[in-house]
A = this chain, B = another copy of it.
Amino acid sequence: MAKRSIPDIVIGRLPVYLRALGFLVAEGRQITSSQELGDRLGISSAQIRKDLSHFGEFGKQGTGYDIQYLHDQLRQILKVDRMWEAALVGAGNLGKAIADYGGFAGKGFNIVAIFDNDPAKIGAVMGVNQVKVQSVSELAATIHARNLIVGVIATPATDAQAIARTMVDSGVRAILNYAPITITVPTGVRVQYIDPVVGLQRMTYYLP
């Protein structure tokens, strides 16, 4: 598949479609339409049809989409029909919340290693996988040894860039960054930001 031809902004919408389809599956629904998905997501039905058309034919005019089939296809396309093991750095309140997060289950991700630089936190056992917190000094060796290519940063802003560099130097190729700072990575490495401000600011526009 000629991946270069599909805009990143389209890829960025697929997980949103997948989540909506997951909710529909959970509701016991079987068929949906680009119109219904669009109404739920605030995206035009034409946009949804156009986005999905990059990957093949998933529905027929007039009959809609088979929810489970489209859900499974999107999981394959996004490569989350497998389990990605991830390293989490930061075992403070935020790191604990991420390690405890129930929403990763069945979505393709598993926090298998946790790191902190605070001696009081190292050795603690936390999260849904009951992982023992390691020293950040072991981050590089652990990423290498376990072939981890997904990293999550939940450190203070001041530590985030250095952690990102260590992750990338050790083999990580996708970083989810909760620290409120932009981080620089080499070409070919992906970064996504979790930023509550973006979510809040897109709502205040509509407030009186």
Contacts and interface: CB of A to CB of B under 8 A. Distances in A.
Interface of A: 3, 7-9, 11-12, 14-16, 18-19, 23, 42-44, 47, 77-80, 84, 86, 92-94, 96-98, 100-104, 107-109, 149-150, 152, 157, 173-174, 176, 180, 182, 190, 192-208
Contact of A196 (B43, B44, B180, B194): B194
Given A97-B97, A198-B15, A190 B176 contact: no
Given A9-B43, A78-B201, A202-B11, A195 B19 contact: yes
Given A205-B11, A205-B14, A174 B200 contact: yes
Contacts of A199: 15, 176, 192-194
A124 B195 CA distance: 26
A79 B202 CA distance: 10
Nearest to A105: B180
Contacts of A192: 199-200, 202-203
